[in-house]
Structure 1
Amino acid sequence: MGGSGVFDPPTVAPPGFVNFRLRDEWLAQQTGDRAAADAVELDPAARREHVVVDFSSPNVAKEMHVGHLRSTIIGDALARFFEACRHEVERVSHVGDWGTQFGMLITHLRESGIDGAQVDDLNAFYREAKRRFDEDPAFKDRAREAVVALQKGEPSARAAWQALCDRSRDEFHEIYRRLGVEVTEKGESFYEPYLAETVEELEDKGLVVVDEGAKCVYLEGFTNKEGEPLPLIIEKADGGYNYATTDLAALRYRIKQGATKILYVIDLGQAQHMEMVFATARKAGWLTADIEAVHVGFGLVLGEDQKRLRTREGESIPLRGLLDEAVRRARDLAAERLVTARGTRKSEDVDRVGEHIGIAAVKYVELSHNRTTNYVFAFDKMVSLHGNTAPYILYAYARVEGIVAEAGTQGGGPAAVETASERQLALDLARFEETVERAMADYQPSVICDYLFHVCQQFSRFYEESRVIGEDGSVNVPRLRLCEATATTIKSGLGLLGIETLEEI
């Protein structure tokens, strides 16, 4: 191994440790090669998988709210990880676009005398429909009739339903555009034709027990609070289907389409439900040893009062309003930075830079926390230039790019690894690929955020100790190569998180 060109000859240290050290020449060349690249190219996976990432999944006829934030942003990042390793990735939003609630929505839409596209406030529209449903028995009867008409495919009911879906999609797509998220909608209505055959197959395999008229699957190890067997109801006593039926039909469909890994980015409160769905699928023979279904659970977004983040009225905060507020605060930061910019920034850039930093701040604060824990959403901290935040990482990148721009084109060659800080920075950069592998294995984007923060801090230590551009304008090219490699690494890491860089802040 000592003659491999990668490691120095191994040494032995008491009480018997064998130490391996990367050769300076190899490390310098590897870092120099990265400096010459536009991005860090990850090696293709040894086994290419068909990965389905189920994330975001808002409800039709309601605005996206803060409760959709974690699923949307974590799901997008995970999809990017697997895409970067050349897996076949299918991004799916399992929207809530079917069910009994559409009876009241369709009826309210008809009786309001407006077109679906003219609904200005989806949340207010939904609340008013729900109020009428709860308070007016005659309206409730008409709503139930509308559900039956919708399920039978009656044209006017379908048209009203489609109008509400289209209006909601306009809202969803605007949020996705701002977040830079791509996802394909396959909602509950998509799987509706497969529900009956899914139940029928489970019956044919002897897994269904009829209990008080409902069709249930009983699974070993699942009990209620009283210790009694807990059923997974797949068809209600009235013949209707539920979330479990749709989830099973969706899982069955995805496996039939060739999926080998299916990630469900859903909050931890759904853990038992997902476990029962997966257990049923294994019992039915759909999930086999070579097909993996994973519940990528996440915690809550809290307010600074340590309670679930809501409005003063106790309602979920619309995601659009949350993004707007983050952008407003980031614009203030951009306006402050305008004074200290290197001269190319103009006042008209403030809105563009503010939008960029504000959206990046929301995404990064979400991804920088361990997904399984709750976290406090604090605007002031997320738009700060201090700490593990998007503005800090973006500023660090812009700072490195500023050094590179000032030095000008200097050609290629190996990077500097002579001093302790130079070598440590080069070693940190070399750990990028293994960091991504760990983030993928644990479905944990925060691993990459922690890594980028560490790299930025290590670069600061290097730059304080090592002069890249002399007072006479001379350039230390090997150190410049280390700067270039750092910029490439930061840009690639942020790209995996769905955040684009800025050349100047």
Structure 2
Amino acid sequence: MTLLQEIEAALGSAFAKVVGEPVETPVVPSGDLRFGDYQSNAAMALAKQRRTNPRALAQEVIDTVDLGDLATAEIAGPGFINFRVSPSCFARKAAEQIADPRLGVPTTGEGRKIVIDFSAPNVAKPMHVGHIRSTILGDSLARIAGFLGYDVIRDNHIGDWGTQFGMILHGWKTILDQDQLESDPVAELLRVYREVNALAKQDPAVLETCKGELVKLQGGDPENLQIWERCVELSKKGLQKIYDRLDVSFDHWLGESFYNERLPGLVDEFLDKGLARESDGAVCVFSSGELSDDKDPFRIHKENGWTDNPAIIRKADGGFLYATTDLATVEYRIDEWKADEIWYVVGAPQQLHFRQIFDASHRWGKDADFHHIAFGSILGEDRKLMKTRSGDNVQLVDVLDEAIERAAQAIREKNPELDGEEGREVAEIVGIGAVKFAELSQHRLTDYVFSWDRMLALQGDTAPYLQYSYVRIRSIFRKLDGAFDPAGVDLLLEADEEVHLARLAIRYGELLPTILEDHRPNLLANYLLELARAFHSFFEACPVLKAEEISVRDSRLALCELTSRVLSHGLGLLGIRCPERM
């Protein structure tokens, strides 16, 4: 049980005695340590319901509550109950955390299965900077949910079907360079697509040829199917190289093509059940009429008022759309994988699409907790969408390469002795960690400016700062004669810096479950920064190896060990590794 939970339980018991029945008594960390470590507004909320004096009710609860050695309680303002935790309690909880392989983090997700749909690049196209947010955010949420005990399925719903394949098929047969295909398949397929696309814009005959190749593919033509399968295989191979560098993995790569055979039956079922109807030859899902216009995803406000905004699931020419495939995907994930929750880590512009899919799924009887985990854009230094000078999307592999090169240069300047294979490995850890942290330290809905100098700085809110903090702690232990075992060490928290470091360390278990409430890894990133800053303040104020007494030295070493474990583990949940040297 976390310290917050212990205080909450004691407060709940006191309220029950005072008012004669169980009531909600939420406790939260205090935003200002001048008013204590934790606080609750339960007395104010309950007094309002019962039309009584909140300060009087709070005083009655304080007179009743049994906090033992946890904390003292006091009234503040109109009826807040503030709790000041004793140093001995912090010491006890920190010692428990050191002995706990889970670092005090409870398992809150047991028995729940989550499918997380993230990254989802298109086949035959390289991943670009726009894929950073979905890939890194989705991976971190999957790591955190898995550690909290959820049964997590990672699904990479790649775009491996669609109109672009008509152009790729034509280009494969006419302008493909086999040698380039073998050495860099994604780049070669992109070149083929771009060249054919340009030709199709100039020559209508080329466009018709491409459409014909697509029709043959959709009709099951053996040659085109074989080419398409080869394109998918080569693209996956190229994508996997990037995922390996990012340390991102998936349980499944079920792309759009996987659901092709399900689409005709799905449309028929929607028609049979009255969930969809024909309109101008197309099959559409309209409003159920159960929601108000302003909350209904199938209604839209225009100049003349509210009007229908249907989702098309079969075009008049018989073709299917993203909505059809996404509904089939929902069906598969619930019926086959038995998903309790489905998370879509997809950009904010797709908000309406997912509102329609979720609404239609519920009406269809496919009940799960659906979440569209939306995110904003990455901007260049000019505060516009990040592009190359030619106006193309910046490729993700180029971002990673430059991050590693810049990290290597910074490391050479700071530590010239760190070279060779170890230097290259550290540069990769630091460079890729910097890119990830720049993403994960932002609120996911915020547009942010991609700045190399800022993200690779050893000072400030960066991954290198946190990695350096970890390295600095581990360097303390390298100076010891022999190994140090923190188990059984009596923690002596006397200096304010010692108390504050322990206070922050034990909040790790309180924080992690809250991240999934709104899918915000930036809460973890910000916590780790606060913990690192507290460590540096502690390190400057409290000598460790030069402490006057062995008992004080060991206590401070135990605090250092706990801090390094939390930093390393927390960064690991963000998908960021820690080097041993920098």
Partner residue of 1:460 out of 530, 536, 539: 536
Structure 1 residues 90 and 12, CA gap change in structure 2 (3 angstroms): same
**Between 76-85 and 419-428, the greater mean CA deviation after superposition:** 419-428
Q: Which amino acid aligns with 1:56?
A: S
Partner residue of 2:324 out of 245, 256, 261: 245
The SS at the match of 1:182 is coil
Higher relative contact order (CA 8 A, sep 6+): 1
Alpha-carbon contact 1:255-1:286 (below 8 Å) kept: yes
- Please say if 1:160 is aligned against 2:227: yes
Structure 1 residues 145 and 6, CA gap change in structure 2 (3 angstroms): farther
The SS at the match of 2:310 is strand
Structure 1 residues 165 and 17, CA gap change in structure 2 (3 angstroms): closer
Aligned to 1:279: 359
- Please say if 1:409 is aligned against 2:478: no
**Hey, what's the Cα distance between the residues in 1 that align with 2:526 and 2:360?**
37
Alpha-carbon contact 1:416-1:481 (below 8 Å) kept: no
Residue 177 of structure 1, CA deviation: 0.5
Structure 1 residues 420 and 235, CA gap change in structure 2 (3 angstroms): same
Aligned to 1:372: 445
Partner residue of 2:462 out of 389, 401, 426: 389
Structure 1 residues 188 and 58, CA gap change in structure 2 (3 angstroms): same
**Hey, what's the Cα distance between the residues in 2 that align with 1:14 and 1:232?**
52
Per-residue CA deviations over 1:24-72 (Å, capped at 9, x if unaligned) read: 3332132124335666363222542110100000001110101111000
Alignment of 1:194-343 (within 5 A): 194-219=262-287, 220=289, 221=296, 222-223=299-300, 225-226=302-303, 227-257=306-336, 258-287=338-367, 291-339=368-416
**Between 141-150 and 73-82, the greater mean CA deviation after superposition:** 141-150
**Hey, what's the Cα distance between the residues in 2 that align with 1:347 and 1:337?**
15
Structure 1 residues 424 and 57, CA gap change in structure 2 (3 angstroms): same
Structure 1 residues 382 and 463, CA gap change in structure 2 (3 angstroms): same
Partner residue of 1:65 out of 112, 128, 143: 128
Structure 1 residues 11 and 140, CA gap change in structure 2 (3 angstroms): closer
**Between 198-207 and 5-14, the greater mean CA deviation after superposition:** 5-14
Structure 1 residues 386 and 299, CA gap change in structure 2 (3 angstroms): same
Structure 1 residues 243 and 466, CA gap change in structure 2 (3 angstroms): same
The SS at the match of 1:121 is helix
**Between 204-213 and 36-45, the greater mean CA deviation after superposition:** 36-45
Identity across the alignment (%): 37
Q: Which amino acid aligns with 2:201?
A: D
Aligned to 1:418: 494
The TM-score, its normalising length taken from structure 2, stands at 0.81
**Hey, what's the Cα distance between the residues in 1 that align with 2:538 and 2:137?**
32
The SS at the match of 1:294 is strand
Per-residue CA deviations over 1:104-130 (Å, capped at 9, x if unaligned) read: 211210122555646453322220121
Residue 415 of structure 1, CA deviation: 2.5
Structure 1 residues 371 and 109, CA gap change in structure 2 (3 angstroms): same
Alpha-carbon contact 2:104-2:506 (below 8 Å) kept: no
**Hey, what's the Cα distance between the residues in 2 that align with 1:181 and 1:41?**
26
**Hey, what's the Cα distance between the residues in 2 that align with 1:11 and 1:469?**
39
Aligned to 2:209: 142
**Hey, what's the Cα distance between the residues in 1 that align with 2:209 and 2:429?**
47
Structure 1 residues 147 and 410, CA gap change in structure 2 (3 angstroms): closer
Q: Which amino acid aligns with 1:275?
A: R
Structure 1 residues 108 and 410, CA gap change in structure 2 (3 angstroms): closer
Alpha-carbon contact 1:117-1:166 (below 8 Å) kept: no
Q: Which amino acid aligns with 2:371?
A: V
Per-residue CA deviations over 1:131-163 (Å, capped at 9, x if unaligned) read: 222223332222222222212222111111011
- Please say if 1:499 is aligned against 2:580: no
Structure 1 residues 202 and 14, CA gap change in structure 2 (3 angstroms): closer
Alpha-carbon contact 2:470-2:567 (below 8 Å) kept: yes
Q: Identify unmatched segments of 5+ residues in structure 1.
A: none
Alpha-carbon contact 2:246-2:432 (below 8 Å) kept: yes
Alpha-carbon contact 2:501-2:535 (below 8 Å) kept: yes
**Hey, what's the Cα distance between the residues in 2 that align with 1:121 and 1:113?**
8
**Hey, what's the Cα distance between the residues in 1 that align with 2:264 and 2:490?**
64
**Hey, what's the Cα distance between the residues in 2 that align with 1:473 and 1:419?**
15
**Hey, what's the Cα distance between the residues in 1 that align with 2:197 and 2:437?**
36
**Hey, what's the Cα distance between the residues in 2 that align with 1:99 and 1:193?**
15
**Hey, what's the Cα distance between the residues in 1 that align with 2:258 and 2:282?**
24
**Between 230-239 and 399-408, the greater mean CA deviation after superposition:** 399-408
- Please say if 1:186 is aligned against 2:254: yes
Structure 1 residues 39 and 329, CA gap change in structure 2 (3 angstroms): farther
Residue 224 of structure 1, CA deviation: 5.4
The SS at the match of 1:409 is coil
- Please say if 1:434 is aligned against 2:472: no
Alpha-carbon contact 1:212-1:237 (below 8 Å) kept: yes
**Between 493-502 and 138-147, the greater mean CA deviation after superposition:** 138-147
Alignment of 1:37-56 (within 5 A): 40=103, 42-45=105-108, 47-56=110-119
Aligned to 2:159: 96
**Hey, what's the Cα distance between the residues in 2 that align with 1:285 and 1:213?**
26
The SS at the match of 2:516 is helix
**Between 121-130 and 85-94, the greater mean CA deviation after superposition:** 121-130
Residue 272 of structure 1, CA deviation: 0.8
The SS at the match of 1:51 is strand
Residue 252 of structure 1, CA deviation: 1.6
Structure 1 residues 353 and 46, CA gap change in structure 2 (3 angstroms): closer
Alpha-carbon contact 2:120-2:159 (below 8 Å) kept: yes
Residue 9 of structure 1, CA deviation: 5.1
**Hey, what's the Cα distance between the residues in 2 that align with 1:17 and 1:62?**
56
**Between 484-493 and 192-201, the greater mean CA deviation after superposition:** 192-201
- Please say if 1:85 is aligned against 2:160: no
Q: Which amino acid aligns with 1:231?
A: P
The SS at the match of 1:199 is helix
**Hey, what's the Cα distance between the residues in 2 that align with 1:16 and 1:34?**
33
Aligned to 1:28: 91
Alpha-carbon contact 1:39-1:488 (below 8 Å) kept: no
Per-residue CA deviations over 1:470-496 (Å, capped at 9, x if unaligned) read: 178967111111111100110111011
The SS at the match of 2:493 is coil
